[in-house]
Structure 1
Amino acid sequence: MDNPSKIIEGGIEYALGKFDGKSVIYDFDLILIYLNAKGKLLFGEHFKIYDDDLVIIRKLCHYLIKDHKNCKKDNIDPDKGILLSGPVGCGKTSLMKLIRHLPPLQRPYEIIPCRNIAFSFNHLGFKTIEDYGNTKFFCFDDLGIEPSGRYYGKDLNVMGEVLLSRYELYLQTKHKIKTHATTNLNAEELEERYGNRVRSRMRELFNLIAFDKNSKDKRS
Structure 2
Amino acid sequence: MQNTFPHIIIENGVQYHLGTLKGNTIQYDFQKMLIYLDHKGKMLFGNNFKIYEEDEIILFKLCIYFIKDYDYCTKFNIDPNKGILLSGPVGCGKTSLMKLMRHITPHQKSYEVIPARNIVFGFNNIGYKSIEEFGNDGYYCFDDLGIEPMGRHYGKDCNVLGEIMLSRYDLFTKTNVQQLNAKNHIKTHATTNLNAQELENLYGNRVRSRMRQLFNLIAFDEKSLDKRS
Matches within 5 A, 1:77-96: 77-96=79-98
Provide the residue aligned with 1:5 in structure 2: 7
Shift of residue 2, structure 1, vs aligned partner:
1.3
Provide the residue aligned with 1:75 in structure 2: 77
C-alpha distance in 2, partners of 1:12/1:133?
39
Shift of residue 10, structure 1, vs aligned partner:
1.7
Q: Residue 165 of structure 2 aligns to which amino acid in structure 1?
A: L
Whether the 8 Å CA contact 1:85–1:182 is kept in 2: the answer is yes
C-alpha distance in 1, partners of 2:99/2:134?
19
Shift of residue 136, structure 1, vs aligned partner:
0.9
Q: Residue 190 of structure 1 aligns to which amino acid in structure 2?
A: L
Which of 170, 186, 207 aligns to 1:177? It is: 186
Which of 61, 64, 67 aligns to 2:63? It is: 61
Provide the residue aligned with 2:179 in structure 1: none
- Segments of 5+ residues of structure 2 without an aligned counterpart are 177-181
Provide the residue aligned with 1:197 in structure 2: 206
Q: Residue 213 of structure 1 aligns to which amino acid in structure 2?
A: E
Aligned-CA RMSD value: 0.9
Given the alignment of the two structures, is residue 134 of structure 1 paired with residue 136 of structure 2, yes or no? yes
Shift of residue 23, structure 1, vs aligned partner:
1.2
Shift of residue 21, structure 1, vs aligned partner:
2.9
C-alpha distance in 1, partners of 2:146/2:126?
21
Provide the residue aligned with 1:43 in structure 2: 45
Normalized against structure 1, the TM-score is what? 0.98
- Segments of 5+ residues of structure 1 without an aligned counterpart are none
C-alpha distance in 2, partners of 1:45/1:188?
37
3-state SS of the aligned residue for 1:170? helix
C-alpha distance in 2, partners of 1:181/1:128?
18
C-alpha distance in 1, partners of 2:206/2:48?
42
Q: Deviations over 1:55-87 (max 9, x none)?
A: 000000000000000001110000000000000
Matches within 5 A, 1:5-44: 5-44=7-46
Q: Residue 63 of structure 1 aligns to which amino acid in structure 2?
A: Y
Provide the residue aligned with 1:107 in structure 2: 109
Q: Percent identity?
A: 65
Q: Deviations over 1:167-187 (max 9, x none)?
A: 011011116000000000000
Whether the 8 Å CA contact 1:121–1:128 is kept in 2: the answer is yes
Q: Which runs of 4+ in 1 moved over 3 A?
A: none
C-alpha distance in 2, partners of 1:10/1:45?
16
Whether the 8 Å CA contact 1:4–1:19 is kept in 2: the answer is no
3-state SS of the aligned residue for 1:173? helix
